[in-house]
Amino acid sequence: MKELRAMLGALSASLVLLGGAGHSLRAQARNITVKGSDTLVILGQRWAEVYMSKNPGSAIQVTGGGSGTGIAALINGTCDIAESSRPMKEAEKAQVKQKRGKEVVEVPVALDGLAVYVNDKNPVSELTIEQIRKIYTGAIKNWKDVGGRDERIILYSRENNSGTYVYFKEHVLENADYYPTAQTLPGTAAVINAVARDPRSIGYGGIAYGKGIKPLRVKKDADSPAIEPSMENVVTGAYPISRFLYWYLAGQPTGGLKKLVDWVMSKEGQAVVENVGYYPLPENVTAKYAGASAKEPKAKSRKSGGM
Amino acid sequence: MGDIAITVKSLSLTRQRSARHVKEWVIDRFIYLNAWLAIAFIALIFIFVAREAIPLFYEPAAKAEVGWGRLFLAQNYGTAEAPLPYVWQPISTEPKYSLMPLLLGTLKVTIVAMMLAVPLAVGAAVYTAEFAPGWVREVIKPAVEMLAGFPSVVLGFFALIVLASWLQDAFELDFRLNALNAGLALGLAVIPIIYTVCEDALGSVPRKLREASMALGATRAETTLRIVLPAALPGIFAGVVLGFGRAIGETMIVLMASGNAAITSWNFSESVRTLAATIAAELAEVVFGSPHYRVLFFIGTVLFLFTLGINSLGAWMIGRWRRKLTGGA
């Protein structure tokens, strides 16, 4: 009898799933699926663990695959929350609207800093944003032009499917193209590994310290002080290459989904960010979210301002 | 009485025969269907890939951004002092989709791989088939064939971490990851394919040919070089062609070991980006239905036609050789 009821339950659930109503049912009553950025996946999983331990009965499933993968899943309706390390493009937002009939809601959930690293044998230890741009666009090809040895500069970049690649291109290269000789590698770890093996190389990625590499101090312009990429400097905004990491939802969250997003934006959720090694949001961002969230459910999609 | 018994017996015999006939027919059809199913799947895959690519040439958005000229001809990217005629930069304010650096990169890596693999694999096959004592053959053959089962990601990792450093130290190369590095690792993946086919081809040369040659006073080396090798040439060629196809389509090794910079140059010590690696690196991220998405599927179509063309060419040449060998002799 019990089995029969379970079978009937499963059957009716799958029937509902077949119908259009299935998705919202799964999103609210069943598990929440989070998908996207590899930069964010560890943080997402940690959030899920802590949240589930505090809210028995909730189920959150977090997978990576890249920012674009998550956004594609949001468009196709196969995930509830897309994690992204780059802002969503207008074309993508339009696709969500067209396919799912809902406005995209953007929530900045954490801060991340990008470091530029060189081999630790390289005498150069600080560069201006402009110098970094010239190096990556091919205007500067030799280390001696930025105070280093007379050696060719070997460029390492991320694969163009990464949010990091896009962010660096927009904010450091000012949308100019990477020079064609830039070698693209999958993941920050691969870039660090490559830079550690080549004294003439330069690379960029999440702020990390590894054997054989040296994160550069970065100057906003020639007259500004050189700023160390540290947590303090990222959170205060003194370090010039930092970005928001986002969660994207289709339509204003309700029920369990809203509860989760609210929790992530709370002091507790932001404490998890710090434990994992990312940077918590500045207080004005969380306060803005809290204000809008209280007024819900009719608020417009939040813009994170600047970045 | 007797008549009836005979009739009954023959009846049951025909029934048995017809049952067996049905069974045979079913099995026959099943196998026939399987054969066609394999072809149908390949055809369907090709149709799907091509169908995603073709709107590239009539969709207004794609037409504005891509077009045949931008895919294959020199463009005015870069500045007057530093012109960049062929650029692959799909993520850009002005996306650039030149396939030339990718085609050139694929060709460079494949050339290196074949230059390593063909002499080594054919040499090893000749040695094991013609000269090696039985026990050596029993060791070498399975060892080389085992290399075929080696996951390509492991070969790629080896090239990325170990081989690249050796090469850079030995030749003082600018790029640690380059066409040479990726090509050599790719060669390792191609060797077992060429070896296996060549070994079989040499083994299938009739003993009579060797015996006749020896009887006429030829040495073992002369027999191998003048008699066995020419006779096995179609098979050896088939092996080389199959290896070439594998080299063009191989993804993981080049993705890891080549540096993936889309540079247009014939310098083998520079980083390269291949067609297959480009699809692997970019398809997961691309916006569905965008020009970039269409271009990646177009690359898939090009790769498919490439390998199809090469294999057909191989088959055609093998047929010609065989006719020459049998008909002419």
pLDDT tens for each residue of chain A, 307 residues long: 444 454 444 444 444 444 444 444 444 446 889 998 877 888 899 999 999 998 888 889 998 877 888 898 899 888 999 999 888 888 889 989 988 888 899 999 988 888 999 999 999 989 999 999 999 998 999 999 998 889 999 999 988 877 788 889 988 998 888 998 899 887 788 888 889 988 899 999 887 767 788 999 998 888 888 898 887 888 888 888 888 889 999 988 888 888 899 999 988 888 888 887 778 888 778 888 877 777 654 444 444 443 3
A162 to chain B, any CB pair closer than 8 A? The answer is yes
Beta pairing class for A104-119 and A201-206: antiparallel
Rounded CA-CA distance B99/B275 in Å is 8
What are the DSSP E strand ranges found in B257-314?
none
Does CATH place domain A2-112+244-304 in 3.40.190.10?
yes
Domain A113-242 CATH superfamily: Periplasmic binding protein-like II (3.40.190.10)
The pLDDT score that the predictor gives to residue A238 is 86
> Do A113-242 and A2-112+244-304 have the same topology in CATH?
yes
How is chain A split into domains, by residue range?
A: 2-112+244-304, 113-242
- The string over A3-33, giving b where at least 16 C-beta atoms fall within 10 Å of a residue's C-beta and e elsewhere, is eeeeeeeeeeeeeeeeeeebbeebbeeeebb
Please give the pLDDT value at position A28.
44
pLDDT beneath 70, residues of chain B: 1-16, 79-81, 285, 324-329
Q: Are A122 and A214 in contact (CB under 8 A)?
A: yes
Residue A165 · residue A66 · CB < 8 Å: no
In angstroms, the CA A189 to CA A212 distance is 12
Chain A residue at shortest CA distance from B255? A185
Q: Among A93, A161, A175, A195, which would you mutate to test the B interface (most chain B Cβ atoms within 10 Å of its Cβ)?
A: A161
Which H helix or E strand runs over A109?
strand A104-119
- Class of residue A42 by CB neighbours under 10 A (exposed 0-12, middle 13-18, buried 19+): middle
Phi, psi of A249 (to 5 degrees): -125, 155
Give the DSSP H or E segment for A32. strand A32-36
- Which class for B133: exposed (0-12), middle (13-18), buried (19 or more C-beta within 10 A)? exposed
Cβ–Cβ of A180/B101 closer than 8 Å?
yes
What ipTM was predicted for this assembly? 0.76
Q: What angle do CA B248, B251, B255 make, to 5 degrees?
A: 120
pLDDT at B286: 77
Check CB contact under 8 Å for A160 and B281.
yes
Q: Which residues 6+ apart lie within 8 Å of A121 measured at CB?
A: A199
Q: Whole-number mean pLDDT of chain B?
A: 85
CB contact under 8 A, A69 and B271: no
Q: Does A186 touch chain B (CB under 8 A)?
A: yes
Mutate to test the interface with A, among B285, B290, B292 (most CBs of A within 10 A): B285
User: What is the Cα–Cα distance from A165 to B91, expressed in whole angstroms?
Assistant: 9
Cβ <8 Å between B287 and A89: yes
Which chain A residues touch B161 with a CB distance below 8 Å? 193
- Whether A282 contacts chain B with CB within 8 A: no
Tell me the chain A residues in contact with residue B87 when contact means C-beta distances shorter than 8 Å: 177, 180
3-state secondary structure at position B106: helix
Closest-CA distance, A67 to chain B, in angstroms, reads 7
Distance CA A77, CA A21 (A): 12
The residue type of A290 is A
